[in-house]
């Protein structure tokens, strides 16, 4: 039996744009992605009897292949033609669940990186990302992490210069949003306001935090039901009032992020938001890709 622990970092979308609906039911995307220091901790017990299963202590998270972490282990075993049977995946959740911050996708990506190390398969990050495609659209990005442009379904990735050092406040309001339902709303309503993705790429090239922050934008915000949109707008306003350089919803929501160039202002924002919201976090951007595998656990 072998043990391994890994970090599975959350992500935010600095921009999220939908270019078109595709005949296969997915959408062509253009997104600037950023991983952050808030992370789940994944422990892999490879060879622990009982088949492939996940444990999180959270009743609403599935333990079987309905959990992306288990789906990733099955996809890895299939893709590599390996025939081992037993893996216990223990998930210590820090990333909010169903929140637009890729918690499940990042757990899946960590499992792929971990199994690559434990089984000695020796796949490259790009090969692992390709296995991740069948698990979920955000998984390939989560395998590579840091700052990247994601296109296609989300699997066509171009590394970008790092977001300049800053503080990122995350705030998840107390409701969940169905990703497929939000895509259907976008199909119905198709709003015309779009992010200035080119401007964000240029600002990243120049190391211009303010230039990035004033262009953060998510096309999903415009098609939210009015009561949810009001909550999101309220949190964004609170971030800006507290001194954020920019604020937007991440992914299909409902987590809102704010970018700050001063730690004291970010901490103040956390304090203010915590008066009305339960899930508020102070994070930093990650400039290094997640380590392929941490040191083996004790
Ligand atoms: O790939 P994933 O399982 O994360 O996607 C969840 C759902 O989100 C898909 O079934 C699809 O309805 C929608 N989706 C989409 N276009 C994408 C990614 C996701 O329409 N690029």
Task: Answer whether 0.85 is exceeded by the pTM.
Answer: yes
Cis peptide upstream of residue 288 (ω within 30 degrees of 0): no
Work out which ligand 1 atom sits closest to the CA atom of 252. Answer: 8
Distance CA 259, CA 236 (A): 11
CA of 91 to the centre of ligand 1 (A): 24
Q: Where are the alpha helices (DSSP H) in the chain?
A: 68-80, 103-118, 125-133, 139-144, 179-189, 197-205, 209-213, 226-241, 263-274
pLDDT tens-place values along the chain, 298 residues long:
789 999 999 999 999 999 999 999 999 999 999 999 999 999 999 999 999 999 998 988 999 999 999 999 999 999 999 999 999 999 999 999 999 999 999 999 999 999 999 999 999 999 999 999 999 999 999 999 999 999 999 999 999 999 999 999 999 999 999 999 999 999 998 777 899 999 999 999 999 999 999 999 999 999 999 999 999 999 999 999 999 999 999 999 999 999 999 999 999 999 999 999 999 999 999 998 767 555 554 4
Q: What's the CA-to-centroid distance between 154 and ligand 1, angstroms?
A: 9
Residue minimizing CA distance to atom 21 of ligand 1: 153
pLDDT, tens only, 189-198: 877 789 999 9
pLDDT tens for residues 155-192?
A: 999 999 999 999 999 999 999 999 999 999 999 987 77
């Amino acid at each position: 039996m072998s043990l391994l622990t890994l970090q599975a970092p959350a992500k935010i979308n600095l921009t999220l744009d939908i270019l078109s609906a595709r005949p296969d039911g997915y959408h062509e995307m253009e997104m600037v992605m950023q991983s952050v220091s808030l992370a789940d901790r994944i422990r892999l017990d490879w060879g622990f009897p009982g088949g492939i299963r996940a444990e999180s202590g959270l009743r609403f998270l599935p333990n079987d292949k309905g959990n992306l972490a288990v789906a990733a282990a099955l996809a890895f075993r299939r893709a590599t033609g390996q025939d081992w049977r037993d893996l216990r995946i223990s998930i210590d959740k820090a990333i909010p669940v169903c929140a637009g911050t890729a918690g499940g996708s990042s757990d899946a990506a960590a499992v792929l990186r971990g199994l690559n190390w434990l089984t000695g398969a020796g796949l490259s990050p790009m090969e692992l990302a390709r296995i991740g495609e069948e698990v979920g659209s955000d998984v390939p990005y989560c395998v590579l992490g840091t700052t990247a442009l994601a296109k296609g379904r989300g699997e066509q990735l171009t590394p970008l210069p790092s977001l300049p050092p800053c503080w990122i406040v995350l705030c998840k309001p107390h409701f969940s949003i169905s990703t497929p339902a939000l895509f259907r709303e976008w199909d119905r309503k198709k709003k015309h306001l779009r992010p200035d993705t080119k401007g964000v790429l240029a600002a990243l090239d120049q190391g211009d935090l303010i230039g990035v922050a004033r262009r953060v934008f998510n096309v999903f915000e415009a098609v939210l039901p009015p009561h949810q949109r009001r909550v999101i707008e309220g949190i964004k306003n609170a971030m800006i009032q507290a001194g954020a350089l920019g604020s937007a919803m991440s992914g299909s929501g409902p987590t809102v992020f704010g970018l700050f160039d001063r730690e004291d202002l970010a901490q103040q924002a956390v304090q203010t938001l915590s008066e009305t919201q339960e899930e508020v976090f102070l994070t930093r951007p990650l400039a290094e890709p997640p380590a392929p595998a941490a040191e083996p656990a004790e």
